[in-house]
Amino acid sequence: GAGVSQSPSNKVTEKGKDVELRCDPISGHTALYWYRQSLGQGLEFLIYFQGNSAPDKSGLPSDRFSAERTGGSVSTLTIQRTQQEDSAVYLCASSIITSNYGYTFGSGTRLTVV
Taking the CA atoms of residue 82, residue 59, residue 88 and residue 52 in that order, the dihedral angle to the nearest 10 degrees is -90
Residue-wise DSSP of 68-94: EEGGGS-EEEEE-S--GGG-EEEEEEE
Bridge partners (DSSP) listed for residue 113 = 13
* Residue from the set 12, 16, 41, 61 that interacts with another protein by CB under 8 A: 41
Task: State the nearest-atom distance from the C-beta of 16 to another protein, in Å.
Answer: 28
Q: Is 45 in the site for another protein (CB under 8 A)?
A: yes
Q: What is the distance of C-alpha 106 from the center of its chain?
A: 9
Bridge partners (DSSP) listed for residue 111 = 11, 88
- Contact letters for another protein, residues 8-37 (x by CB under 8 A): -----------------------x-x-x--
Stretch in the footprint of another protein (CB under 8 A) among 13-21, 63-71, 78-86, 100-108? 100-108
* Residue from the set 16, 18, 102, 112 that interacts with another protein by CB under 8 A: 102
Cα separation of 87 and 85, whole Å?
5
| Residues near another protein (CB under 8 A) | 4, 31, 33, 35, 40-45, 48, 50, 56, 58-59, 91, 93, 97, 100-103, 105-108
